[in-house]
Amino acid sequence: MANYKTKLHKIKAFVFDVDGVLTDGMVQVSENGDLLRTYNSKDGLAIREAVESGYPIAIITGGSSETIKVRFTILGVKESDIYLRSRVKTPDFEHFCKKYNLQPDEVLFMGDDLPDIAPMRVCGLPCCPADAVPDVKAVAEYISIRNGGDGCVRDIIEQVMKVQGKWDTSAPPASSF
């Protein structure tokens, strides 16, 4: 991971998996059979700060619950950039890149499990939480010191925005969500 820091400068957009990245991987089954997830407010603040600074952000998940859209549209992510039921993630990753006229190597991807490996191989900076599965860690160029749901997303967004001079602690977004 010696030189992942040099790649932080060229990142123009972020893509995140949900389960195990933006959550700790746990899903609660509700009485009606919906799958409920629990998110981290420090991650949320970073996503909102990135959105307000103009970074496109995509969510690409195998999950299908509409509540995933609720959480991220509140933070400013565009609903059309939230890919649910993604069984093979690379095409969705490429769709997102084209939409914003981004080269894949300008896009950071953070995932934690096997379906994330393929897009991680083609993105600009493959990242994962500390508790990703070994096969994912093997392809990651940056392994966060944070686990999924415990701030790994905040960690990497903050690093990118800081090296690019965009992380302004004096005018933070509301932590509202």
Q: Which residue of 20, 119, 124, 129 would you call a contact of its own copies, by CB under 8 A?
A: 20
Separation of alpha carbons 82 and 15, rounded Å = 10
Q: Does 174 bind its own copies (CB under 8 A)?
A: yes
39 forms part of the interface with its own copies (CB under 8 A): yes
Contact region for its own copies (CB under 8 A) — 7-15, 56-64, 91-99, 100-108? 56-64
Residue 12 CB, shortest distance to its own copies, in Å, is: 23
Helix axes 152-163, 41-52, angle to 10 degrees: 30
Q: Which is nearer to its own copies, 145 or 172 (CB)?
A: 172
**157 to 36, 47, 64, 77, 135: CA distances (angstroms):** 25, 7, 25, 14, 23
Q: Are the C-beta atoms of 11 and 107 separated by less than 8 Å?
A: yes
- Binding footprint of its own copies on the chain (CB under 8 A): 17, 19-20, 23, 25-42, 44-45, 61-64, 67-68, 70-71, 85-88, 112-115, 117, 133, 135, 149, 169, 172-177
